[in-house]
């Protein structure tokens, strides 16, 4: 956010959310919700899907790194 000249507190005020919500998202302690995605999309001229897709990609990346899938079998048609 620094390249945009924005602090977390300022952006939180601009999108009308509590500052701690944005701080927790930045610190990866909280995910981007549909509500936050809508607000960010209006502020930055994007779509809500853009922000939700970023969150989904982040969640999937963490799941792939942390989940043991060794017991999951691939489906093979008979």
- Residue 6's pLDDT is 87
CATH number at residue 35: 1.10.260.40
pTM metric for this prediction:
0.85
Using left for φ > 0, alpha for ψ between -120 and 50, and beta otherwise, residue 5 falls in left
Contact 28, 22 (CB under 8 A): no
pLDDT at 78: 85
Domain that residue 50 falls in: 2-65
Is residue 72 domain-resident?
no
Q: Is 57 contained in some domain?
A: yes
9-64 per-position pLDDT tens digit = 999 999 999 999 999 999 999 999 999 999 999 999 999 999 999 999 999 999 99
pLDDT in tens, 50-69: 999 999 999 999 999 999 99
**Interaxial angle between packed helices 34-44 and 48-66, expressed in degrees from 0 to 180 and rounded to the nearest 10:** 130
Q: How far is 51 from 54, CA to CA, in rounded Å?
A: 5
User: How many domains does the chain contain in total?
Assistant: 1
- Whether residue 2 is predicted with pLDDT greater than 80 in this model: the reply is no
Distance of CA 75 to the CA centre of its chain: 31
């Amino acid at each position: 956010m620094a390249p945009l000249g924005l602090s977390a507190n300022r952006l939180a005020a601009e999108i009308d959310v509590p500052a701690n919500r944005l701080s927790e998202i930045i610190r990866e302690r909280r995910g981007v919700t549909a509500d936050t995605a809508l607000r960010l999309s209006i502020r930055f001229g994007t779509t809500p899907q853009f922000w939700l897709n970023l969150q989904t990609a982040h969640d999937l990346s963490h799941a792939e790194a942390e989940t043991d899938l060794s017991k999951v079998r691939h489906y093979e048609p008979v």
